[in-house]
Amino acid sequence: MKIESKLVHAGDRKKAGGFIPVTTPIYTAASYFYDSMAQLDRVMGREEEGPSYARYDNPTGSALEELVNTLESGGGTVACASGMSAVHLGLIAALLDRPKRVVAGNVLYGATVSTLMKIMEPFGVETTWVDICDLDAVERALGEVKPGLVLMETVSNPLLRVGAMDKIAEMTRQAGVPLMVDNTFATPLLVRPLELGANIVVHSATKYMAGHGDVLGGLIVADQEYCGTIRTLSRTVGPVMSPFEAYLTMRGIKTLALRVERQCANACRIASWLASHPRIERVHFPGDPNHPDALTIARLFPKNLYGAMISIELKGGREEVFAFMEKLKMIVRATSLGDVHTMILYPAMASHRDLSPKHRARLGIGDGLVRISVGIEAPEDIIGDLEQALQG
């Protein structure tokens, strides 16, 4: 079955009593019981599948987990309360019995950077930052640091660089180090990290997976080696997704292929238009033939599907960015991405606000950098809104 069909069918239509619901319903019960105490004993002992307590299992959440696990070719999946709870769960699971050292891409989502620096570091976890697109630098770090985990994003936030994940996975495998990948920007429609050799994959379900701006959630998928540990940690700590969020995420995933294909096509057209605008100093877009990682993108991404994120460097600084964004009429000025509507964000104010100006500058996140998440609207309307906002 091709992924477009898996998106629609996987996880659904479980028999309930004498009938089969067409879509998985929302189960809100906090606990469950069975006619037989022996069966309840087996369920609670994890010898038999079935829900017993909502922190452990929920039928709606389990259906979503089965769906995502199928899409990412995983050994097991856990639906979490947020993308960052999924990241935190992955870090803990990977480092439980390994050296408390992480080699991480030097340009990551700001909250991930803050998690490593402000939460993990005080607990004794050291992070070494490396240009994930420099394979020699990654190899040196593996040899010198001897980490317990390598962490990267499929497409880096917000500069949209793409590391050679397949080659990095081979390096980490030879070094005996797990590789964890944030696949939020790419989705399993574009890249499936576990198939390329990664061990743990995380998503912010809030973004493309749910896709409609009405969900807060996260997903963590792991291979056979780590899925059991992640499930045990989740059952103990309890960063679980609510059944309502699980239902909405599952419903959103059914149209993922349609949405992302349209968003990718729109992004290609809009990036091309932006590149010719006199007020734009530079356009960052994975579909650009001159992208610094073009060869890697051509190898890892499907043809003509380069993601729907664009970052632009506007001439000027903060005041010019604010003036431009305030003129937008249709494009939504909000802190998220991956929704059906086009969104725009100022990283220095939002996603990377917790980083110091000097730290942002070192990463290449200047005061004129703006990130655009392209939606499914008519591309002429998106361009028209950008054009009027960029005037004067």
**How do residues 91-136 score in pLDDT, each as one tens digit?**
999 999 999 999 999 999 989 999 999 999 999 999 999 999 999 9
Q: 362 pLDDT exceeds 90?
A: no
Helix, strand, coil percentages in the chain from 3-state DSSP, rounded to 5: 45, 15, 40
Query: Mean pLDDT across the stretch 352-364?
Result: 71
Q: What is the mean pLDDT of the chain?
A: 95
The closest alpha carbon to 58, from 86, 82, 88, 81, belongs to 81
Structure tokens at 307: 């993601």
* 12-16, 49-53, 62-66, 330-334: range with lowest mean pLDDT: 12-16
**Predicted pLDDT at 380:** 98
Q: Which residues touch 322 (CB under 8 Å, ≥6 apart)?
A: 346
**Predicted pLDDT at 316:** 84
CB neighbours of residue 308 within 10 Å:
32
Structure tokens at 182: 């944030």
CB neighbours of residue 224 within 10 Å:
10
**Predicted pLDDT at 351:** 65
Query: What is the rounded distance in angstroms from the CA atom of residue 150 to the CA atom of residue 102?
Result: 6
**Is the four-CA dihedral 130, 132, 134, 140 of positive or negative sign?**
positive
Q: What type of residue sits at position 284?
A: H
Helix (H) or strand (E) holding 237: helix 224-237
- In this predicted model, what pLDDT tens digit does every residue of 68-94 receive, in sequence order? 999 999 999 999 999 999 999 999 999
- In this predicted model, what pLDDT tens digit does every residue of 312-322 receive, in sequence order? 999 988 899 99
- In this predicted model, what pLDDT tens digit does every residue of 238-275 receive, in sequence order? 999 999 999 999 999 999 999 999 999 999 999 999 99
* This prediction's pTM: 0.95
- In this predicted model, what pLDDT tens digit does every residue of 290-320 receive, in sequence order? 999 999 999 999 999 999 999 999 998 889 9
Strand locations in 213-273, DSSP E?
Answer: 218-222
The closest alpha carbon to 220, from 110, 53, 76, 95, belongs to 76
pLDDT band at 353 (very low <50, low <70, confident <90, very high): low
**Predicted pLDDT at 293:** 98
Query: What is the rounded distance in angstroms from the CA atom of residue 5 to the CA atom of residue 278?
Result: 43
Q: Which residues touch 170 (CB under 8 Å, ≥6 apart)?
A: 197
**Predicted pLDDT at 354:** 67
φ/ψ (deg, to 5) at 181: -125, 130
Domains present along the chain, CATH in parentheses: 3-253 (3.40.640.10), 256-390 (3.90.1150.10)
Structure tokens at 30: 């906090």
